[in-house]
Structure 1
Amino acid sequence: MIGKLKGVIDTLGKNSIILDVQGVGYLVNCSLRTVSCLPQSGNVVVLSIETHVRETEIKLFGFLDDRERDWFRLLQNVQGVGAKLALAILGTLTPEELDSAISLQNEAIVSRSPGVGLKVAQRIVAELKDKSPRLSGDLSLKINFRKKMNESNTDTTIKDSVSALTHLGYSGQQAVSAISAARMKVGDEIDSPTLIRLSLKELIS
């Protein structure tokens, strides 16, 4: 199996590239975000590769690093999520944002990905909540958040605050860090508008 490829970018497509490796052109399927982060044709790149072998074809999927590839594999363990949908999710969310969304059990963030309905997003956060690779952020912070999510009032407050901050353009990881910092200062008994306001102060300070 191919696990990594180093070569020269021959052609950049919307969802794939052709990578020239010593004269052999490999068609590598990539997410929109991965393609957007690659340099122009003629440049050398190294991609982590996932190989899918079927009866009639062999497909290569390329990722910026092993973290992305790990999430690609993990997402496909969820019923209804195949390679195409997993790439769509990774094209919308970074590994850090996906990890945060699952740790917070926030299906709204996951459902922002094209083709991901609410039911699929709910399955993703539910089925992967104990399988997340913990690729980013502070583990103890996320465990603490998850415990708080068991309380309905706190659950709504955190979800509303994360949703508001991400809609303002902040990443899921930034939102988690800011909300955590704000809650440490004022405690758990806080409403959504106040938590959002204090979290914004943390982000711009």
Structure 2
Amino acid sequence: MVDQINIALRRVPAWVLYLVAPLPVLTIYYLGLTDALGIDPAKRIEHELGLWSLWLVIAGLAITPLRRWAGLNLLKFRRAIGVITFFYLLAHLLTWLVLDVQFQNVWADIVKRWYITVGMLAFVLMIPLAVTSNDLSLKRLGAGTWRGLHKLIYPIAVLGALHFLLLVKGFQWEPIVYAAIIVGLLACRVRLNRLPRFRMSRQT
């Protein structure tokens, strides 16, 4: 079954993700413009884009464990997922700046509100990953340096989970579940080389 999925995935080019990526963003903004997101559409748009960003971070972190342990090869999509994650984070940030706070007291909010401080730090760390997500940067930096730089996704994931935890009021399971998933995926990577790999078939 996994072999058949891998064979099918080999026929799907990674650029397809770039074509599909804007659709959820456009849908969310359309719902906001048509008053389908409640009394505070800006906050709802901001929240939905933040969730999508977190989902994409989790998807990127899951690629290696899935390949090693389940034999599911999604490696060729990892770069596209990373770039799209940055795109969603940028949309999330711009929604906060333009629609939510309307460029008022931005620095004061970043300094005083911990969840904004953490979220902004995650975005800043994501910038070098987005800028270097291309073959030219890989060639210029060298494979070792490039891989080391892109390990920033680990603290970014932790900061994203922490941002969500600090954002919500009271006890809510949703951010806790996402935080647990991220911690679990990171823990898997720590022990990844010590555990047996799934034997990939020759067809993958």
Instruction: Establish whether TM, by shorter chain, passes 0.5.
Output: no
Higher strand share: 1
Does 1 or 2 have the higher relative contact order (CA < 8 Å, sep 6+)? 2
TM-score, normalised by the number of residues in structure 1:
0.28
